[in-house]
Structure 1
Amino acid sequence: FSMHVDFFNPNRITQRGAHDSIGVISCANLALDPSIRYQPEFIYATIIPGPHEPTYNELDHYVRRVIEQFVQTWRPGLHISRTADSATGAIVEAAVLISLNDLPAARKVAGLQGHMSSLICSVCDLHGKDRVFDTDCEHWTRRDVEELRKWAWAYRDAKTLAKRQHIFSSYGVRWSSFWLLEYWDPTRMLVIDAMHCILEGLVHYHCRHVLRLDALATKLSSDGLKVAFDWPWVPYSPETGPCYSLDEKHIPGVTKIQETLTLSLSGKKSLSLNGTAETLAYIQKVIQEMKCPAHIPSVPKNYGEAKAGSIKANEWQWLSTLYLPVALVILWGDNDGLPPPVDDPEAGYLLKALDHTMALFQAAMIACRQVMTTDRAEAYRRQMGHWTQNLRSLFPHVRGGSSRPNIHAGFHIYDFLLLFGPVMSWWCFPFE
C-alpha cells in the first residue's frame, strides 16, 4: 500500500495564507491495476477533522489507528475463508510500502525533526542548513535505520519530557507509530513527493524567486552581477554563525538584510532580470497564442499577476516543459537566429540564465516521464547538479534567502526513481 497524509482548505480559497485546514489519510493498494488503483471505491481514507492542522502528538493518534491494522495484516496476515480459486481459503499479507507526503508532512508523520532544522534530510546524514547546496552525491551516507529505531523506542519509553526533548534534539527522532512496523525504513520508504518537491517546490521557486517572473518581484540587476555587495551570504544558523547566538526573533531580520544587500544599485543597470513588464507580457502572449493539442491542460493566461491565483502543480508542469521554454528561448537565446554574443554583458548573462533555467526544466521533464530507466535517472541527477551548482553564482540575490531543503530533497528523487520507477506511479496527483 501507499499511504498519504495531506491537509487542505475546505473553503476552496485560491490564495495561499492562513486558513482552515482538514486532513485526510489515504491508502492505495499498489497491487491493483493502475487503471482502478486510485478510484475512490478502492481507496481507504480517514478524515482528520479541523479546523486547524494537528500538532505532531495529535497527528500520531490518527496515524496509529491505520498503522495498527497494517501490523496485523503483515503478521500474522488476514485469513480469507474462501477465494475464487480455493475452497480452503488463503492468507493475505498487506504492508505499507511507501509513505508518500510533501516535505513538511513527511517529517511530521515519521517523527523526524522538521525540514527547516539542521538535520536537513531524512535519507542521508547531511547536517547543517549550509549543506543544502552540496552536490557531492557520491559521498553522502545513508542514515542508520537501526539507530533511528533505537532512539524512537527510547523516546516512547522515556519517563520525563526532559528526556524526550534531549533525545529529539540530539538524535533528530521521536516516536512515530510507523515504528510499529517491523520492516519500516524511513530512508527508503518515506518518499518525498515529486509533485510537491519539483513542480510546486523547485520550479515555483526558480520562476518566482530566482528569475522573478512575477509582476510584484523586486527589481534586480539586468546582468545579475551589478549588486551592492557581491558576497557569498549563507543563511544564519547557530552552527555556522559567530560565537554569539541571535535570538530567534532576530533571524528573519538578518535574512532580509542579506537579501537587501544583494539588490542592484540604482541607475540604468537597475533593470530587473526579467526585463520588467515586457518579459512577463511576452510570456503571457505565448500562453495565449500557442496552439496545443487538446490533451494539454490550460494554464493561467495572466501568469505572473496576482489575479492568476496560486499556480497548481499540473500547471507548473506544463509551464516548465512547454510555455516558459518557448518564451525564454526566444527572448534570451535568440538573436535573429543566432545565439547572443558572449561578449555582450547583458545578453551573455541572459544566455547563461537560460541554460541554467533549462537544466531545471529538463530535470522536471525527465522526472515526469512515463518510463524510467537508469540512464534517465542519472540524467535527472546531472541536470539537478548543474542547476544547484550555478544557482548562487548566477543569482546573488538568492544567497541570503531562507533555506530551501527542497533543493537537497530533489536530489533524492533520483533514489526513489530507481526504487519505485516513474513518478506517476507514486506521486500525489491521484490523491489530491
Structure 2
Amino acid sequence: FSIHLDFFNPHGVTQRGAHDSIGVISCANLALDPSIRYLPEYVFVAGIIPGPNEPSVDELDHFARPVIEQFAQAWRPGLHLSSTADPKSEESGAVVEAGILLSVNDLPAARKIAGLQGPMSGLICSICRMRGKNLIFNTDRSQWTRRDVEKLRHWANAYRNANTLAERKAIFDDHGVRWSSLWLLEYWDPTRMLVIDAMHCILEGIVHYHCRYVLRLFAAAPQLSADGFKHAYDHPWIPYDAEMAPSGCKLEEKHVPLVAKIQEALSHIIRTGTPETLAHVQHVIRETITPSWLNSVPKNYGEAKAGSIKADEWRTLSTVYLPIALITFWGDDDGSAPPEDNSEPGYLLKALDHTMALFQATSITCRYTMTTSRVLAVRDYLESWVKDLRTLFPHTRGVWRPNIHAAGHIYDFLLLLYGPVISWWCFPFERLIGALQKINTN
C-alpha cells in the first residue's frame, strides 16, 4: 500500500488566509492493476483528523498510529481469511500479508508523519545527510550520503523512551528525528519509502517558483518600475583599483574579489517579466489549438483574476504553452537566433536555455514510461538548472527552497525504486480531497 496524509480547507479553496483545516489519511493498494488502483471505490480512507486546527506533530502520531498498527499486524503474522474466491482455499483459507511500501505527501506533511525535522531545518533532506540550507544548491552527488536507517530507528526509540521534554528536544535537535508510529513497521526505511512527490516538488514547487519568482511572469512584476528591476542597478560599475581609490576607501585584499562578484551580479538583470512577455504568453494560450484531451489553463495567466494555478495546469503550461511562447519570443530574432553575447537578446537567450532545461526535466518526469536514458536526462537537466540559477538570476540568491534539493532525489525513485511517477504521485489523493471538500457540511 501507499499511505498519504494531507490537510485541506473544508470550506473550499476560495477562502484565503487563516481557515479551518481537516486532515485525511488515505491508502491505495499498489497490488491492484494501475487502471483501477486509484479509482475512488478502491482507495481506502483510513482516517479523518477533525479540525478546526491541525494537530501538533506529536498529536498527529496519535491519529496515524491505529492505521499503522493494522499494517504492522497485517505484515506479521498476516491476516487469515477463512475463504477466498480460489476453490482450493475453501478448507484451509489463506494468509494475506500487507504492508506500507511508500508514504507519499508534500514535504511538510512527509516530515510530520515520519517524525523528521522540517524541510527548512538544519537537516534539509530526509534521504541524505545534508545539513544547512546553504547546501540546497549543492549538486555534487558524491556528498549526498544516505542517512543511516538503524541510527534513525535508535534515536526515534530513544525519543519515545525519554523521561523529560528536554531530553526529547535534545534528541530532535541533534539527530533530526522524533518518534513516529511508522517505526512500528520492522521494514520501515524513510530514505527509500518516504518518497519525494513529483506533483508537489516539481510542478507546484520549482516550476511554480521558476515562472513566478525567477522569470517573474505575472502581471504585478512590471509595476515595480517601467523596466522591472533594471533601473535599480543600471550603473557603470568600475573595477576596483587600489591606486585609484580615494583615501579612506581602500579595501582589504580579501574583500576585493567579493566586491567584484557583487558588481558582476548587479551589472545584468535579465528583463524577463515584462508586460510584452506576459501578453505574448497569454496570446499563445488563446491561439494555440490543442487536442481535446489536454486540460485547459487560464487564458489570463499571470493576472490576479486567473486565481491559483493548480498542479496539472503547471504541467500543461511548462510542457506546452510556455515553451512555445518563450521560444518564439526570446529565441527568435527576425527569423534567426539571437546573438550569444551580453546584449539584452543574448541574456534572454540564456534565460530561455535555462528555463528549457527545467521544462525538459518536467516533461520527461511526467511521462508514463521510463527508461534509464530518460532518468539520466532528468538528473542532468535539473543539475544544469540549479547550477545556473543564481548566476543568471541574482535576485534568487539568499532564497532557500528545499524543493530545489529534494527534486534531485526524484532521480533515485524514478530509476532505482518505483519507476514512472504516475504510479506513486499525489494526484489521485488530491482528487479524493477534492471530493471530500464538496461534501455538504451544513
Q: TM-score, normalised by structure 2?
A: 0.86
Shift in Å, 1:414: 0.5
Q: Deviations over 1:348-400 (max 9, x none)?
A: 00000000000000010110011011111111000000000000000000102
Q: Deviations over 1:243-280 (max 9, x none)?
A: xxxxxxxxxxxxxxxxxx99979xxx98x722521111
Q: Which residue of 2 aligns with 1:158?
A: 162
- Once superposed, what is the RMSD of the aligned Cα atoms? 2.2
Q: Deviations over 1:254-310 (max 9, x none)?
A: xxxxxxx99979xxx98x722521111111111011100000010011100111111
Farther-moved stretch of structure 1 (362-371 vs 15-24): 15-24
Q: Name the CA distance, whole Å, in 1 between partners of 2:16 and 2:310.
A: 11
Q: Which residue of 1 aligns with 2:172?
A: 168
Alpha-carbon contact 1:222-1:346 (below 8 Å) kept: no
- Name the CA shift for 1:5/1:227 in 2 (closer, same or farther; >3 Å): farther
Q: Which residue of 2 aligns with 1:71?
A: 72
Q: Name the CA distance, whole Å, in 1 between partners of 2:293 and 2:421.
A: 19
Mapping of residues 69-218 of structure 1, within 5 Å: 69-85=70-86, 86-87=89-90, 88-217=92-221, 218=224
Q: TM-score, normalised by structure 1?
A: 0.88
Q: Name the CA distance, whole Å, in 2 between partners of 1:343 and 1:384.
A: 24
Q: Which residue of 1 aligns with 2:382?
A: 384
- Name the CA shift for 1:123/1:391 in 2 (closer, same or farther; >3 Å): same
Query: Structure 2: where are the runs of 5+ without partners?
Result: 239-262, 431-442
Shift in Å, 1:223: 11
Which amino acid is 2:356 matched to?
Answer: M
Q: Name the CA distance, whole Å, in 1 between partners of 2:231 and 2:380.
A: 26
Which amino acid is 1:389 matched to?
Answer: K
Shift in Å, 1:227: 8.0
- Name the CA shift for 1:58/1:96 in 2 (closer, same or farther; >3 Å): same
Shift in Å, 1:138: 3.0
Q: Name the CA distance, whole Å, in 2 between partners of 1:17 and 1:387.
A: 32
Shift in Å, 1:222: 5.5
Q: Which residue of 2 aligns with 1:234?
A: none
Alpha-carbon contact 1:15-1:309 (below 8 Å) kept: no
Asked if residue 48 in structure 1 is aligned to residue 74 in structure 2, the reply is no
Q: Which residue of 1 aligns with 2:284?
A: 286
Mapping of residues 205-244 of structure 1, within 5 Å: 205-217=209-221, 218=224, 220-221=228-229
Q: Which residue of 1 aligns with 2:323?
A: 325
Shift in Å, 1:221: 4.3
Alpha-carbon contact 2:272-2:348 (below 8 Å) kept: no
Which amino acid is 1:422 matched to?
Answer: P
Alpha-carbon contact 2:218-2:273 (below 8 Å) kept: no
- Name the CA shift for 1:166/1:344 in 2 (closer, same or farther; >3 Å): closer
Q: Name the CA distance, whole Å, in 2 between partners of 1:223 and 1:208.
A: 20
SS in structure 2 of the partner of residue 371 of structure 1: coil
Q: Name the CA distance, whole Å, in 2 between partners of 1:25 and 1:15.
A: 23
Alpha-carbon contact 2:79-2:96 (below 8 Å) kept: yes
Number of corresponding residues: 397
Q: Name the CA distance, whole Å, in 2 between partners of 1:3 and 1:133.
A: 30
Alpha-carbon contact 1:223-1:345 (below 8 Å) kept: no
Q: Name the CA distance, whole Å, in 1 between partners of 2:199 and 2:211.
A: 16
Alpha-carbon contact 2:127-2:146 (below 8 Å) kept: yes
Q: Deviations over 1:198-251 (max 9, x none)?
A: 000000000000000011125644699858999xxxxxxxxxxxxxxxxxxxxx
Which amino acid is 1:8 matched to?
Answer: F
SS in structure 1 of the partner of residue 44 of structure 2: strand
Alpha-carbon contact 2:215-2:273 (below 8 Å) kept: no
Q: Which residue of 2 aligns with 1:7?
A: 7
Q: Which residue of 1 aligns with 2:334?
A: 336
Which amino acid is 2:57 matched to?
Answer: Y
Q: Name the CA distance, whole Å, in 2 between partners of 1:341 and 1:221.
A: 23
Asked if residue 407 in structure 1 is aligned to residue 408 in structure 2, the reply is no
Q: Name the CA distance, whole Å, in 2 between partners of 1:227 and 1:40.
A: 60
Q: Name the CA distance, whole Å, in 2 between partners of 1:82 and 1:225.
A: 76
Shift in Å, 1:139: 3.1
Q: Which residue of 1 aligns with 2:21?
A: 21
Q: Name the CA distance, whole Å, in 1 between partners of 2:233 and 2:383.
A: 22
Alpha-carbon contact 2:6-2:109 (below 8 Å) kept: yes
Q: Which residue of 2 aligns with 1:302?
A: 300
Q: Name the CA distance, whole Å, in 2 between partners of 1:264 and 1:284.
A: 30
SS in structure 2 of the partner of residue 25 of structure 1: strand
- Name the CA shift for 1:34/1:91 in 2 (closer, same or farther; >3 Å): same
Shift in Å, 1:187: 0.2
Q: Name the CA distance, whole Å, in 2 between partners of 1:376 and 1:138.
A: 21
- Name the CA shift for 1:25/1:414 in 2 (closer, same or farther; >3 Å): same
- Name the CA shift for 1:16/1:202 in 2 (closer, same or farther; >3 Å): farther
Shift in Å, 1:8: 1.2
Alpha-carbon contact 1:334-1:340 (below 8 Å) kept: yes
Q: Name the CA distance, whole Å, in 1 between partners of 2:5 and 2:360.
A: 29
SS in structure 1 of the partner of residue 4 of structure 2: strand
Which amino acid is 2:98 matched to?
Answer: A
SS in structure 2 of the partner of residue 34 of structure 1: coil
Shift in Å, 1:17: 3.5
Q: Name the CA distance, whole Å, in 2 between partners of 1:63 and 1:102.
A: 16
SS in structure 2 of the partner of residue 430 of structure 1: helix
SS in structure 1 of the partner of residue 35 of structure 2: helix
Q: Deviations over 1:306-346 (max 9, x none)?
A: 11111000000000000000000011111122110123510
Q: Name the CA distance, whole Å, in 2 between partners of 1:377 and 1:35.
A: 24
